[in-house]
């Protein structure tokens, strides 16, 4: 557990470009404080010291503004940036190398016991204010945009945007991001407009063809005027 805590501190230095040195991370990073406390409270919970685990998690909730249930399972290299308002429910399962921002909720939709919180795969990024609700699975290498509300399963190598969350398949771009280190959140509205612009020339061509056909029909079968009828 001590090695894992050391790694948690080191990850903050690696993932946050604003971090300057080890002392600053240890003293001034609530996300690191909450995660270190969770490592200890999770150990207590698993060794039947459940009340002690809950008390420790509650104290660090008051101290950091981050609520992590002691029973939640969190993998290696997990990082919470800023952290205020983060809530991680009891049956949440989080994989390795996950990055989440402030205001994120991994919550439940049911009051029944059992699995009721999300499972987050490896290498997932969850933007500020996003809500992942219910026993859904978010596939690895996925990005969830800020303010999104995820209520359904999310496949691997996807991007989720909107309320409710809409999945934008971008497996190729995700692989490129791993190489270049650049993040991209495709805009589904912009993509829809782009499709309409691509369709527009074809529609104009069809309208022109219809007009020509109508004009040809009028020339071959002219409509008689009133004088001609008399």
Active site residues: 117
CB 78 within 8 A of CB 39: no
Helices (H) and strands (E) counted in the chain, each on its own, are 7, 15
**Non-local CB neighbours of 207 within 8 Å, separated by 6+ positions:** none
- Contact (CB, 8 A) for 111 and 155: no
C-alpha dihedral (70, 75, 77, 83), degrees to nearest 10: -40
Give the E-state strand segments of the chain in sequence order.
Answer: 67-68, 73-74, 79-80, 87-88, 93-94, 99-100, 105-107, 119-120, 125-126, 131-133, 137-138, 143-144, 149-150, 158-161, 166-169
Q: If 0-12 CB within 10 Å is exposed, 13-18 middle and 19+ buried, where does residue 80 land?
A: buried
Q: Dihedral through CA 135, CA 154, CA 160, CA 131, nearest 10?
A: 10
Give the separation between CA 223 and CA 51, rounded to whole angstroms.
92
């Amino acid at each position: 557990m001590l090695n894992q805590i050391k790694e948690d501190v080191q990850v903050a230095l690696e993932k946050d470009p604003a971090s300057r040195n080890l002392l600053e991370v240890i003293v001034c990073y609530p996300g690191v404080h909450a995660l270190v406390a969770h490592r200890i409270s999770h150990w207590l919970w698993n060794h039947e010291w459940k009340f002690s685990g809950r008390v420790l998690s509650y104290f660090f909730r008051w101290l950091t503004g981050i609520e992590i249930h002691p029973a939640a399972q969190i993998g290696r290299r997990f990082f919470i940036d800023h952290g205020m308002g983060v809530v991680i429910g009891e049956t949440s399962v989080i994989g390795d190398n996950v990055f989440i921002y402030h205001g994120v909720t991994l919550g439940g939709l049911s009051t029944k016991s059992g699995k009721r919180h999300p499972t987050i795969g490896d290498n997932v990024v969850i933007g500020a204010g996003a809500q992942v609700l219910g026993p859904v699975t978010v596939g690895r290498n996925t990005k969830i945009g800020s303010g999104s509300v995820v209520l359904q399963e999310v496949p691997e190598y996807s991007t989720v945007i909107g309320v409710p969350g809409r999945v934008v398949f971008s497996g190729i771009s995700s692989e490129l991001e791993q190489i270049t280190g650049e993040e991209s959140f495709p805009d589904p509205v912009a993509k829809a407009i782009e499709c309409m612009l691509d369709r527009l020339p074809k529609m104009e061509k069809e309208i022109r063809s219809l007009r020509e056909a109508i004009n040809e029909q009028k020339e071959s079968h002219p409509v008689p005027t009133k004088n001609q009828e008399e």
